[in-house]
Amino acid sequence: MSINLQLQLSIAPLSCFEAQRCLTHLAREGIVTLWQDQRPLSNDTCLLNLSAECASSESPEWLSERLAAAVWKETGRFVRLSCLVDSEAAEHLFTFEEPDYQRLMPAFRLRMPPLRR
């Protein structure tokens, strides 16, 4: 059974081009962006914050891991990501660092379609 989830994502560091690609890819994953903000970190990088919603039957942890892997696959590298998932029952905060990237990417590489360029 699908439930509606509210998401808050923060992703950095990204180039402005990578931020747009992440937004496009998240939309393909069924994530509806309600608002987004790109804050400059330096001349070439930014922090992408977004509020979104989706309908999912996945656990908050699995959804967050899947979205983190999708972002990493889209950028082709590790970026820090935090994901706050708010369901009707509770809020769940997940922060993904480099050890998570090393743990998750082997599992998701075979499950995800190849990068589209």
Q: pLDDT tens for residues 51-100?
A: 999 999 989 999 999 999 999 999 999 999 999 999 888 999 999 999 99
- Dihedral of the alpha carbons of 41, 67, 26, 21, in degrees to the nearest 10: 40
Please list, in sequence order, all residues whose beta carbon lies within 8 angstroms of the beta carbon of residue 41, skipping any fewer than 6 positions away.
12, 13, 47
* 116 found inside a domain: no
Residue 82 in any domain: the answer is yes
Contact 70, 29 (CB under 8 A): yes
68 vs 110, more confident = 68
Parent domain of 53: 3-109
* Residues 26-42: tens digit of each pLDDT: 999 899 999 999 999 98
Is the pLDDT reported for residue 114 higher than 60? Answer: no
- Contact status, residue 60 vs residue 75, Cβ threshold 8 Å: no
Position 117 pLDDT exceeds 80: no
CATH number of the CATH domain containing 81:
3.30.70.260
Strand partners, 62: none
Q: In this structure, is residue 39 part of a structural domain?
A: yes
Supply the pTM of this predicted model.
0.86
pLDDT given at position 98:
96
Please give the pLDDT value at position 109: 66
Residue 41 domain-assigned (yes or no): yes
**H or E element, residue 87:** none
